[in-house]
């Protein structure tokens, strides 16, 4: 299955509709007004428990440090109190843990870690662990990342809080991705000492890059930073998601679950250009364009994952927001109307159809099968004026609403003349009104005309003349 396809829309006018001597047909093609939309076919077997691609914005795969700067020369070994030295440096010395951790910690080497610097260390024996100490002077978000040079070697990365008064480690977070994937451990933590633990699980091992960062600014809802699917918050399709990135390391994940009878996920991304929104598909993260409707076709009942992160080489402002709106496929019109901005028309020709002289407007609201507003849906409003087809393509807003307005020209061609009496009381007015026969207005979603089309009517008023005033 192709993971990402760009498909140009073809003509949607396939069945002519005859009225007033003119047909809505291919004499004007609304699809020609739209260059393309984005269509994605979603893979159905992408994710088991985590993603095969990590984040690692600050850990380059090309290893810019060229794997020559050893931690043993770039960092100082831990020189803390006796308890810390004994716990971390003497081998084999096992640390106590206060919470369930992947397994016990027995560090062969320990170092003081300076933040914001990419370092290289080497582990060549399976089960060997190296520890990196990060003291926090205030409550912060801690992010540790590890990337191995050997893509076939599998490393894990653990994050612990260290109580130096009791010599106890409390497990905080773990990253246990498969080989060749960036390991990332993170948590919002109080002032204390923290230890990142790198362990070789399988393979030849060798050099790896590691970085540790802390941020005093962070989201109020940090659990959505996780790339472990069990930690990703579930978002209801149709729910509007608005957020921001508080630092360059912030990554927000969201999981969208389709209903058992839905296979389509419509996505619209808007907001600051600092943000990059991606969907996970076919084993990779794919960037979604801003301000363009994305139609993703997947499997009924499946969950699909979207994340927001800073664009490469961009430092996002915490004041700027991103916005993700989603919906399922078009289901029905929740409302529609036809109106005019013209004033002082008599409305005597037909009390059912809208009468318009110089302006004709039409619009409505569309929803998906769950009743959620359909955002970013392209809608066609088309009719015929003086034998010529006119149309507009408009896009639904965040409420699923849309409208189109036309300036009507002077009447030409076949014109009907009639006399009408405003006889609702006294005085009475007798009017001569010239008008065109009732015209159909077609309103439908651009991609689904045949299944979902409204056909209200309007009357084009050419001229109204007061012929007689009968006082009471």
Return the closest-CA partner of residue 196 out of 139, 127, 143, 119: 143
Bigger pLDDT: 409 vs 239: 409
Q: Residue 250 pLDDT more than 90?
A: no
The CATH H-level superfamily of 5-35+331-470 is: Macroglobulin (MG2) domain (2.60.40.1930)
What is residue 245's predicted lDDT score, i.e. its pLDDT?
Answer: 85
Segment 352-360 shows an average pLDDT of: 94
Q: Residue 276 pLDDT more than 50?
A: yes
Q: Residue 37 pLDDT more than 60?
A: no
Both tokens assigned to 220: 């109020």
Q: Residue 114 pLDDT more than 90?
A: no
Q: Average model confidence (pLDDT) for the chain?
A: 75
Note the Cα 96 to chain centre separation in Å.
Answer: 43
Segment 354-362 shows an average pLDDT of: 96
What is residue 397's predicted lDDT score, i.e. its pLDDT?
Answer: 86
Confidence label for 66 from pLDDT (cuts 50, 70 and 90): very low
Confidence label for 472 from pLDDT (cuts 50, 70 and 90): low
Q: Residue 154 pLDDT more than 70?
A: yes
Segment 260-266 shows an average pLDDT of: 83
CATH of region 41-51+228-327: 2.60.120.380
What is residue 450's predicted lDDT score, i.e. its pLDDT?
Answer: 67
First to last CA, the chain: 78
What is residue 103's predicted lDDT score, i.e. its pLDDT?
Answer: 61
Return the closest-CA partner of residue 393 out of 439, 359, 452, 444: 444
Please report, for the chain, the start and end positions of each structural domain, with discontinuous segments joined by +: 5-35+331-470, 41-51+228-327, 71-215
Instruction: Evaluate whether 389 touches 354 at the Cβ level (below 8 Å).
Output: no
Place of tokens 């499946």: 302
Provide Rg for the chain, Cα atoms: 33
Q: Residue 370 pLDDT more than 80?
A: no
Confidence label for 42 from pLDDT (cuts 50, 70 and 90): low
Q: What is the pTM of this model?
A: 0.54
Provide CB contacts within 8 A for 49, sequence distance 6+: 228, 229, 230
Segment 290-315 shows an average pLDDT of: 85
Q: Residue 351 pLDDT more than 90?
A: no
Query: 3-state DSSP: the chain helix, strand, coil percent, rounded to 5?
Result: 5, 45, 50
Kindly state the DSSP code that residue 78 receives in the 8-state scheme.
Answer: P
Confidence label for 17 from pLDDT (cuts 50, 70 and 90): very low
Instruction: Evaluate whether 42 touches 169 at the Cβ level (below 8 Å).
Output: no
Segment 286-303 shows an average pLDDT of: 85
Confidence label for 312 from pLDDT (cuts 50, 70 and 90): confident
Lowest mean pLDDT among 52-56, 173-177, 383-387: 52-56
Segment 435-440 shows an average pLDDT of: 94
State pLDDT tens for residues 210-220. Answer: 988 887 776 55
Q: Residue 248 pLDDT more than 50?
A: yes
Both tokens assigned to 122: 């080497």
Q: Residue 64 pLDDT more than 60?
A: no
What is residue 191's predicted lDDT score, i.e. its pLDDT?
Answer: 86
Share of the chain above pLDDT 70, in %: 74
Does 41-51+228-327 match 71-215 in CATH topology? yes
Confidence label for 48 from pLDDT (cuts 50, 70 and 90): very low
Segment 149-163 shows an average pLDDT of: 89
Q: Residue 410 pLDDT more than 90?
A: yes
Bigger pLDDT: 440 vs 24: 440
Bigger pLDDT: 399 vs 358: 358
Q: Residue 361 pLDDT more than 90?
A: yes
192-193-196 Cα angle (round to 5): 135
Provide CB contacts within 8 A for 169, sequence distance 6+: 95, 96, 97, 98, 101, 105, 160, 161, 162, 163, 195
Instruction: Name residue 282's beta-bridge partners.
Output: none
Segment 184-199 shows an average pLDDT of: 86
What is residue 465's predicted lDDT score, i.e. its pLDDT?
Answer: 94
Kindly state the DSSP code that residue 32 receives in the 8-state scheme.
Answer: G
Structurally, at CATH architecture level, domain 71-215 sits in Sandwich (2.60)
Q: Residue 52 pLDDT more than 50?
A: no
């Amino acid at each position: 299955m192709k993971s990402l396809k760009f498909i140009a829309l073809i003509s949607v006018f396939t069945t002519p509709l005859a009225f007033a001597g003119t047909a809505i047909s291919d004499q004007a093609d609304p699809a020609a007004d739209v260059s393309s939309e984005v269509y994605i076919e979603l893979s159905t077997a992408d994710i088991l428990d985590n993603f095969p691609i990590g984040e690692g914005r600050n850990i380059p795969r090309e290893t810019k440090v060229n794997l020559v700067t050893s931690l043993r020369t770039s960092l100082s070994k831990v020189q803390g109190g006796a308890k810390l030295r004994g716990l971390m440096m003497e081998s084999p010395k096992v640390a106590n843990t206060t919470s369930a951790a992947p397994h016990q910690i027995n560090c062969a080497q320990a170092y003081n870690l300076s933040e914001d610097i990419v370092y290289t260390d080497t582990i060549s024996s399976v089960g060997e662990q190296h520890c990196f100490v990060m003291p926090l002077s205030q409550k912060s978000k801690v992010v540790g990342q590890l990337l191995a040079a050997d893509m076939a070697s599998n490393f894990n990365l653990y994050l612990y809080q260290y109580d130096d008064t009791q010599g106890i480690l409390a497990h905080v977070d773990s990253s246990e991705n498969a080989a060749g994937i960036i390991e990332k451990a993170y948590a919002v933590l109080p002032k204390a000492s923290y230890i990142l633990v790198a362990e070789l699980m399988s393979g030849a091992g060798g050099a790896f890059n590691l970085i540790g960062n802390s941020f005093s600014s962070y989201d109020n809802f940090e659990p959505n930073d996780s790339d472990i699917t069990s930690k990703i918050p579930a978002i209801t399709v149709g729910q509007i998601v608005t957020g921001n990135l508080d630092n360059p390391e912030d990554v927000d994940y969201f999981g969208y679950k389709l209903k058992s009878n839905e296979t389509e996920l419509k996505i619209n991304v808007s907001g600051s250009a600092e943000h990059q929104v991606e969907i996970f598909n076919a084993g990779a993260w794919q960037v979604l364009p801003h301000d363009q409707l994305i139609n993703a076709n997947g499997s009924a009942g499946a969950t699909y994952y979207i994340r927001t992160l800073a664009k490469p080489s961009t430092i996002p402002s915490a004041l700027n927001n991103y916005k993700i709106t989603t919906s399922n496929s078009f289901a029905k019109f929740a409302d529609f109307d036809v109106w005019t901005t013209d004033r002082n028309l008599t409305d005597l020709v037909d009390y059912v159809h809208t009468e318009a002289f110089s302006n004709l407007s039409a619009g409505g609201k569309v929803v998906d099968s769950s009743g959620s507003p359909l955002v970013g849906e392209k809608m066609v409003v088309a009719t015929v004026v003086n034998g010529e087809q006119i149309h507009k393509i408009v896009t639904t807003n965040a409420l699923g609403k849309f409208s189109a307005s036309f300036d009507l020209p002077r009447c030409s061609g076949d014109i009907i003349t009639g006399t009408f009496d405003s006889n609702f009381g006294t005085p009475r007015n007798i009017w001569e009104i010239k008008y065109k026969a009732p015209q159909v207005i077609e309103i439908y979603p651009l991609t689904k005309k045949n299944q979902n089309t409204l056909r209200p009517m309007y009357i084009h008023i050419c001229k109204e003349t007061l012929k007689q005033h009968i006082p009471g």
